[in-house]
Structure 1
Amino acid sequence: MPVTLSMIRVAVQQCGLSGKALCVHSSLRSFGHIEGGARTLLEGLLAEGCTVMAPSFSLRTFSAPPPDSAYPARNGWSEEELSLPPTSQIYRPDTTAIDLDMGALPAVMVRERRRVRGWHPLNSFVAIGPLAEQLIAPQKPLAVYAPFKELCGLDGAILLMGVRLTSMTFLHYAEQQAGRTLFRRWANDEHGKPQMVEIGSCSTGFEAFAPLLAPFRTTCTVGESLWQVFPARATLEVASEAIRRNPSITACADPTCVRCRDAIPGGPMLDAQKSGESTG
């Protein structure tokens, strides 16, 4: 049986999400078949008064090499990032550029005239709904997760549609709140000059948070898609405290992962770079 707009609305009501600000991570395939695709999913949420926010990352289009070989130590660099060529691409919030792996819902959202998109060239968020401006306006290149602070203040929630905790970008905000310095990358500013920006770390190990978040998780099934709902404030408190107690909780299973290797001890050593010490 295909999933319809009315089924989406009923699920939102059953989960107690009507009128709320939501950070949504979704897999359209998880529904089986949904009439009208991602647009039906979006309109069903909006029809219930929700403000819908989603990651709309664009690293593949706007990533640039750092100026003057400024490579901070312990910064989770991949070989690909260390060899990035110069680019003339300049990000602006009105762009529709988005990485293909962001999924169908964010791809639809960035093409909507009514949407608000953050001022972050690599890890922007996009939102539609009555609280969109409040959620997105604080995002800046060195305030990548400011929308999550707003989400907590609005008593919002994270909604996973057919995806696992490994897709929950919000847990990177918990890493930051636990005391980690976020990784730094570069992209051109509005004048075409490289600027430093914040990004998150590896999320492949985030399923380790499942037992800790289970007490306040609510679920429902829409078509073939399992929805998991997590209140933002409670998730932040529990996850950040877990990271403080056991920094290795975020580690993925790959012993060669440079992002996990560098994030767990605290992230990039920016003070050393500023003082002129060697950054390796």
Structure 2
Amino acid sequence: MQIQIKMYTDIPYGPHERNVLDVYIAEQEPSPGPSPVLVFFHGGGYIRGGKADVHRYAFVHQCLSAGISVVSCNYRFIQSDPYPAPMEDGTRALQFVRHMAPEWGLDPDRIASAGASAGGHLALWNALRGDLARPDSDDPIERQSSAVCGFLGFITQVSKDQRFYEGRYHGPHIQPNLQLFYGLSDPEERHRPEILALAEQASAIHYMSASAPPAFMVYTLPLDGPTIPADAPVGEVIHHPVHGYVLQQAYTRFGIPYTLRHGADPERPGELLAFLQRCFTRD
């Protein structure tokens, strides 16, 4: 089987200047039909980063070589567009890819999502929410489903609610950029009841249900137990595998396939690709 990569760059998927994505279409020769696709969202704390970051991940090239197309997306930053703007961009990007699938030779029924750090949380938030289509919308893109058949996260947070750390972390750090994320003028505003309610809505794990897609989470730090060391620097706190561990407990309760890899139990060669292929072949 020969794979040819057709590339489209800076394709607008929405009205904002950061609503652009790059498409890498894996065309098989002879073509067996439309290819599955992985939609990737970069990290950067919701304040930096870009779609070119996808090239840092070796598994992306493995996907293309295996006939899985890849789409990498930018989204709005919270300095000017706080929550829910980045999450809404994630929704629209997924809907846009499904809308364009016939033209691009992609399979609209085999779309998985992935992301790193903040982009992982954005993608997970959408993956757990499922289909956010608006059937009555005048916009044909909004009428498309945003559901995915699998999720792959790298050093991914599962919550934007500081209360997530209660009983799991006793150090001094608050999540970086939390004030920007919610558009607050004072960090102490996060304790207001309406902001606490918003924090639940903004947290991916809040939407865990029996309809969640299979998930695979990868972390670089080791998981030594169900807590985060109090002396951990803030970058380790927000990227700690405890996030993946807590989500794993929820997945286990629902009996949904879930794999957690971390520094003490790293991913096996070819494991990520095999996971995606299973997602694309599930009934």
TM range (shorter): under 0.3
Q: Give TM-score, length-normalised by structure 1.
A: 0.28
Higher relative contact order (CA 8 A, sep 6+): 1
Q: Give TM-score, length-normalised by structure 2.
A: 0.28
